[in-house]
């Protein structure tokens, strides 16, 4: 599975945004950096899953 490409932007309020794009380069989802980062931290990597 290929990882999705994220590009960073800034909102009018000055918050950092991630723009998630599909394979054609179109916007699939735009999320705040804060929300995306929290979701990344919550997700376990393959290495962490196999340790226990």
Indicate whether 34 belongs to any domain: yes
Provide the number of structural domains found in the chain. Answer: 1
User: Which one of 1-5, 13-17, 21-25, 36-40 scores highest in mean pLDDT?
Assistant: 13-17
Indicate whether 51 belongs to any domain: no
**CA nearest to 6, candidates 37, 46, 42, 45:** 37
**CA nearest to 37, candidates 15, 20, 18, 9:** 18
Whether 32 and 20 have beta carbons less than 8 Å apart is answered as no
User: By CB neighbour count within 10 A (0-12 exposed, 13-18 middle, 19+ buried), where does 6 fall?
Assistant: middle
Indicate whether 19 belongs to any domain: yes
Question: Could you tell me how many residues make up the chain?
Answer: 52
Mean pLDDT of all residues in the chain?
A: 79
Indicate whether 52 belongs to any domain: no
Q: Which domain holds residue 25?
A: 5-43
């Amino acid at each position: 599975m290929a990882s999705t490409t994220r590009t960073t932007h800034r909102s009018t309020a000055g918050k950092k945004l991630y723009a998630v794009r599909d394979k054609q380069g179109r916007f699939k989802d735009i999320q705040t950096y804060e929300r995306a980062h929290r979701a990344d931290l919550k997700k376990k990597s393959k290495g962490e899953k196999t340790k226990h």
